[in-house]
C-alpha cells in the first residue's frame, strides 16, 4: 500500500492577507451593481422563449412553502407564464378581492433577496414575506405572528446593501400601512424586533442570549436582508415572522396550526397588502 503523506498547509505569497480583505469590509454601498436583475431576466426570457409581461403588483414570499402547497391543494394557484426567475416558480391567485403572486421556498437571506430583486424588476410594487421563526422572548404563546419592526443583522446579505449597523428597520410608511390594514381586518399581531441569522444550526446559547438581551423576540432567516434591500433600493417590503418553535428543544415543536398555518398567514399578508393599497389611494387622491 502506498504511503500517504499529509501535506502541511502554508500561506502562499499570492493568497490574500486576512487583514486586507476589502470584500469583508465593504465601502462601496453607493456604487451601482454590474450584475442587474433586469439583465438576468432578459436573458432568461430569451432562453426560455417567455413573454415580457409583468407579475402582479402585490407579491408574497413564502420561504417555508406551506402557503403555496395549501393553495395547490385547493387548486387556487396558477403558475405564472411571465416569471423568468431561473430558481423558482411564481403562482398567481386571488383571495378576498386581492390578486397576488406568491413564490415559495426562497429560504435564507441571499435567496430571499435574489427573488425580491427579480420581483421588483418584473412589476412587483409591494412585497410581503411570512417566514417561520424560533422563539426567543419568554411568554410568547405559540404559534403567533410578529409584524417585524426591526431586525438584528446577523446575516451577510444585509451588509452588502447597507453600511454596518446593529439592526435595520422596516420602511416606516410601509409599516404604518401594514398595521392599518391589520387593524381594518381585525387581526392582532405582535410588533417588535427579530434576529436574522444565516446559520440556523449555529444558534449557540451565547448568540441566543445576546439576541434576547438586545430585545429580539424571535430568530428567523430573511428579515434583515429584505429590509436592507428595501431601504437601499427604496422598495416597499414588509416582513412577518410566524413563531412556531423553540428550535426543536421540546417534543411536538414546529406546529403552525390548521392547514400548516397557511390560512392564518394568508389573512395577515392580505390585510397588510390592502393596508398598503389603501395608503396609496390616499396619497393619489
d(CA 199, CA 81): 34
- Residue 27: pLDDT band by 50, 70, 90 thresholds? confident
Q: Is the pLDDT of residue 235 over 50?
A: yes
Average pLDDT, rounded, for the chain: 92
Name the residue ranges covered by the structural domains of the chain.
38-247+257-284
Q: Region 84-94: what's the mean pLDDT?
A: 96
| CATH number given to 38-247+257-284 | 3.40.50.1580
- Residue 23: pLDDT band by 50, 70, 90 thresholds? low
- Residue 7: pLDDT band by 50, 70, 90 thresholds? very low
Per residue in 104-156, pLDDT (tens digit) is 999 999 999 999 999 999 999 999 999 999 999 999 999 999 999 999 999 99
| Contact criterion met (CB below 8 Å) for 214 and 152 | yes
Q: Is the pLDDT of residue 15 over 60?
A: no
Q: Which residues have C-beta within 8 Å of that of residue 136, sequence separation ≥ 6?
A: 195, 208, 211, 212, 216, 217, 218, 219
Which residues on neighbouring strands pair with residue 5, listed in sequence order? none
* Per-residue model confidence (pLDDT) at position 13: 55
- Set of cell numbers at residue 169: 428597520
* Dihedral angle over CA of 74, 64, 226, 162, nearest 10: -160
Amino acid at each position: 500500500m502506498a504511503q500517504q503523506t499529509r501535506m502541511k498547509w502554508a500561506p502562499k505569497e499570492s493568497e490574500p492577507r486576512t487583514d486586507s480583505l476589502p470584500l469583508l469590509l465593504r465601502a462601496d454601498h453607493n456604487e451601482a451593481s454590474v450584475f442587474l436583475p433586469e439583465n438576468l431576466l432578459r436573458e432568461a426570457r430569451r432562453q426560455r422563449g417567455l413573454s415580457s409581461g409583468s407579475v402582479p403588483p402585490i407579491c408574497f414570499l413564502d420561504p417555508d412553502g406551506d402557503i403555496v402547497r395549501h393553495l395547490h391543494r385547493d387548486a387556487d394557484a396558477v403558475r405564472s407564464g411571465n416569471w423568468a426567475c431561473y430558481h423558482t416558480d411564481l403562482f398567481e391567485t386571488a383571495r378576498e378581492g386581492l390578486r397576488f403572486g406568491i413564490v415559495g421556498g426562497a429560504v435564507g437571506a441571499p435567496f430571499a433577496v435574489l427573488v425580491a430583486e427579480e420581483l421588483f424588476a418584473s412589476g412587483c410594487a409591494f412585497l410581503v414575506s411570512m417566514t417561520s421563526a424560533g422563539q426567543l422572548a419568554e411568554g410568547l404563546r405559540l404559534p403567533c405572528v410578529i409584524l417585524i419592526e426591526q431586525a438584528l443583522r446577523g446575516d451577510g446579505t444585509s451588509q452588502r446593501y447597507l453600511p454596518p449597523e446593529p439592526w435595520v428597520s422596516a420602511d416606516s410608511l410601509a409599516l404604518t400601512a401594514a398595521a392599518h390594514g391589520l387593524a381594518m381586518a381585525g387581526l392582532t399581531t405582535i410588533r417588535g424586533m427579530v434576529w436574522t441569522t444565516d446559520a440556523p444550526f449555529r444558534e449557540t446559547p451565547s448568540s441566543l442570549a445576546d439576541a434576547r438581551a438586545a430585545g429580539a423576540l424571535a430568530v428567523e432567516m430573511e428579515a434583515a436582508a429584505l429590509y436592507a434591500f428595501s431601504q437601499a433600493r427604496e422598495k416597499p417590503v414588509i416582513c412577518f415572522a410566524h413563531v412556531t418553535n423553540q428550535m426543536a428543544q421540546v417534543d411536538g415543536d414546529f406546529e403552525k396550526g390548521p392547514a400548516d398555518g397557511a390560512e392564518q398567514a394568508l389573512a395577515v399578508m392580505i390585510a397588510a397588502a390592502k393596508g398598503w393599497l389603501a395608503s396609496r389611494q390616499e396619497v393619489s387622491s
